Amino acid sequence: MGKSENIKRTKRLTEARRRKESEMNTSKDDIHDEKEIKEGSKDSEKKVDENKSEVNYSLLLREFIAPIVQHGDDAGVYEKKITFGAMVWNAAILKEIDERHYLHAKAELLKMATDKSEVEEIFEYLHARKKELYPEHKDLIVNFEINNIHGKDFDLTVETNKVSFDEG
């Protein structure tokens, strides 16, 4: 799959994700309104909503790295790209706390690279992509697992942790 096809695919995935989120938000609001009417407690319902995460980070991470994934990537290559994507994802989130985290992650990836300029370019591209398409998703990716299902079709499971952004 060429670069232009990856870009088109990314745009389609992004649009599909936005539609899905819009539908989820609409149905979540409807459910919230029904519960509010039944229970009569708006504040307690908000606390429940805030504590439950319906975000599928496995799907988000797949979409996030889609432009750098090639159709023929085997499990080993795919795992490296997932690791790279997770590091950029986390660096983008931690940059909001302290830019040193971002610079450290970038430096670590560049240390391992044979083509430093290409790796830096991809790092910056994915960082901009995270900032533009997923600004509201602030969980750190702490672990993932890839299971080989059928040939080159992989199942991805992602574990995340919330980050505390202290104001002050």
b or e along 56-74 (b: 16 or more beta carbons within 10 Å of the residue's beta carbon)? ebbebbbbbbbbbbeeeee
Structure tokens belonging to residue 146:
């890839």
* Dist CA 154 CA 128 (whole Å): 26
Lowest mean pLDDT among 25-34, 104-113, 124-133: 25-34
Average pLDDT over residues 120-144: 96
Residue pLDDT, tens place only, 46-85 = 333 333 457 899 999 999 999 999 888 888 888 999 999 9
Average pLDDT over residues 134-141: 95
Residue pLDDT, tens place only, 144-164 = 998 866 666 778 899 999 987
In terms of pTM, does the model score above 0.85? no
Output the DSSP codes for 60-79. Answer: HHHHHHGGG--TT--HHHHH
pLDDT over threshold 90, residue 17:
no
* Dist CA 11 CA 74 (whole Å): 24
CA-based end-to-end distance of the chain: 47
Phi, psi of 90 (to 5 degrees): -65, -40
pLDDT confidence of residue 15 = 67
pLDDT over threshold 90, residue 125:
yes
b or e along 14-39 (b: 16 or more beta carbons within 10 Å of the residue's beta carbon)? beebeeeeeeeeeeeeeeeeebeeee
User: Within 10 A of 141 (CB to CB), how many other CB atoms are there?
Assistant: 23
* Dist CA 26 CA 10 (whole Å): 24
Structure tokens belonging to residue 61:
């991470």
What single letter denotes the amino acid at residue 45? E
